[in-house]
Amino acid sequence: MFKTFFVVLLLGFAGSAMALPFASRYALVVEEGSGKVLLAKNADVTVPIASLTKLMTAMVVLDAAQDMDEAITIEDPSVLTSRRSRTRLTDGGVLPRRTVMELALMSSDNHAAVSLAYAYPGGIDAFLAAVAAKVGDLGMTHTTIGEPTGLSEANRSTAEDLARMAVAAASYPEIVRITTSSGQTVDVQGRNVEYHNTNHLVGQTGWDILLSKTGFTKPAGRCLIMRLSAGGQTVIVVLLNAITSPLRMLDALNVRRFLSGEEPLLARAESPRRVHRAAHHLPVTIERAHLRPSRVAVSAN
Q: What is the pLDDT of residue 179?
A: 96
From 54, 107, 152, 245, active-site residue = 54
d(CA 278, CA 260): 26
Q: Is 41 a catalytic residue?
A: no
What sign does the dihedral 14-20-26-29 (CA atoms) show? negative
Task: Give yes or no for residue 163 having a pLDDT over 80.
Answer: yes
Q: Among this protein's residues, is 36 annotated catalytic? A: no
Q: Is 51 a catalytic residue?
A: yes
> Rounded to whole angstroms, how far apart are CA atoms 143 and 120?
22
- For residue 45, being part of any structural domain is answered with yes
- Structural domain includes residue 191: yes
State yes or no: pLDDT of 274 exceeds 50: no
Is the distance from CB of 237 to CB of 216 less than 8 angstroms? no
Span 172-221, pLDDT tens digits = 999 999 999 988 887 777 788 788 889 999 999 999 999 999 999 999 99
The highest-confidence range among 10-19, 91-100, 236-245, by mean pLDDT, is: 236-245
pTM for the model stands at 0.84
Domain encompassing residue 76: 2-243
pLDDT of residue 275: 39
**Residues linked to residue 6 through DSSP beta bridges, in sequence order:** none
* Residue 291 maps to a domain: no
DSSP H or E run through 80: helix 78-81
pLDDT confidence of residue 284:
33
Tally of domains in the chain: 1
E strands present in the chain: 26-31, 37-41, 47-48, 71-73, 94-96, 156-157, 183-188, 191-196, 208-217, 221-230, 233-242, 265-267, 291-293
47 falls within a domain:
yes
Q: Give me the mean pLDDT over the 233-249 stretch.
A: 96
Residue 89 lies in a domain: yes
> Which one of the listed residues 16, 51, 157, 181 is annotated catalytic?
51
In a domain, 179, yes or no: yes
CATH of residue 155 = 3.40.710.10
Note the pLDDT tens digit of each residue in 22-74.
Answer: 999 999 999 998 899 999 999 999 999 999 999 999 999 999 999 999 999 99
What pLDDT is attached to residue 297? 30
Least confident of 8-22, 52-66, 132-146, 164-178: 8-22
Residue 286 domain-assigned (yes or no): no
DSSP assignment of 160-212: HHHHHHHHHHTT-HHHHHHHT--EEEEEETTEEEEEE-S-TTTT-TT-EEEEE
Residue from 24, 108, 181, 245 carrying the catalytic annotation: 108
Does the residue 22 lie in any domain? yes
